[in-house]
């Protein structure tokens, strides 16, 4: 599984989980464009079906996409067969060989099976934007304190995370841009 990316350059890999969401994802895309940043969006299949025009914009703007199951299933709470069926249902509408398990929760048997077809991407920096108890500043500090070249950073383009994620995303991009970092999308075969 991929937790960080070896890179000889100042590269960071920003990722978003749980979208697309029409009240959040377009604003995320606008912010990324302001910084000429590319990212990777791990999308929930049912949201992809609801908002295909947002998915097309993500792809058209040069970002990568990944499978995040069809219904945001927690791999350790359902039988393997159910999990694989849900991943496959999402794969029918998400054309990607990148996969991130919701909650980062997945069984060893599920890893063994899914890595035959996918590059399983986890993270090295968790922003905490999903936590209703933390401030946007704490979310930003989580990212600034723990990120270094090659880090895979997790944000969420969801309504729940929006008020923490958007300021933290802007702050992350501004801070690391000044330090000469580039923001890259994750590809199946490498960076």
d(CA 67, CA 118): 9
Task: Give the active site residues.
Answer: 17, 156
What is the structure's pLDDT at 188? Answer: 78
Tell me whether residue 190 is in a domain: no
pLDDT above 70 as % of the chain: 98
Per-residue pLDDT averaged across 96-111, rounded?
96
State yes or no: pLDDT of 191 exceeds 90: no
Q: 54: domain range? A: 11-183
Tell me whether residue 3 is in a domain: no
Q: Which residues contact 118 (CB under 8 A, 6 or more apart)?
A: 67, 97, 98, 99
What is the structure's pLDDT at 190? Answer: 52
Tell me whether residue 188 is in a domain: no
pLDDT tens readout for residues 146-187: 999 999 999 999 999 999 999 999 999 999 999 999 999 998
């Amino acid at each position: 599984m991929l937790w960080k990316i070896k890179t000889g350059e100042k590269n960071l890999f920003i990722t978003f989980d749980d979208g697309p969401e029409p009240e959040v994802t377009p604003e995320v895309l606008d912010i990324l464009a302001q910084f000429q940043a590319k990212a990777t969006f791990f999308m929930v299949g049912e949201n992809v079906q609801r908002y295909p025009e947002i998915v097309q914009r993500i792809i058209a703007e040069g970002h990568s996409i990944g499978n995040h199951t069809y219904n945001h299933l927690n791999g350790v709470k359902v039988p393997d067969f159910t999990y694989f069926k849900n991943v496959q249902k999402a794969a029918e509408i998400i054309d990607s060989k990148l996969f991130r398990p919701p909650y980062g929760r997945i069984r060893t048997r599920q890893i063994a099976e899914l890595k035959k077809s996918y590059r399983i991407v986890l993270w090295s920096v968790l922003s905490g934007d999903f936590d209703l108890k933390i401030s946007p500043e704490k979310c930003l500090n989580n990212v600034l304190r723990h990120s270094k070249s090659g880090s895979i950073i997790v944000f969420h383009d969801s309504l729940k995370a929006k008020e923490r994620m958007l300021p933290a995303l802007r702050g992350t991009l501004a801070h690391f841009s000044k330090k000469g970092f580039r923001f890259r999308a994750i590809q199946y075969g490498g960076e």
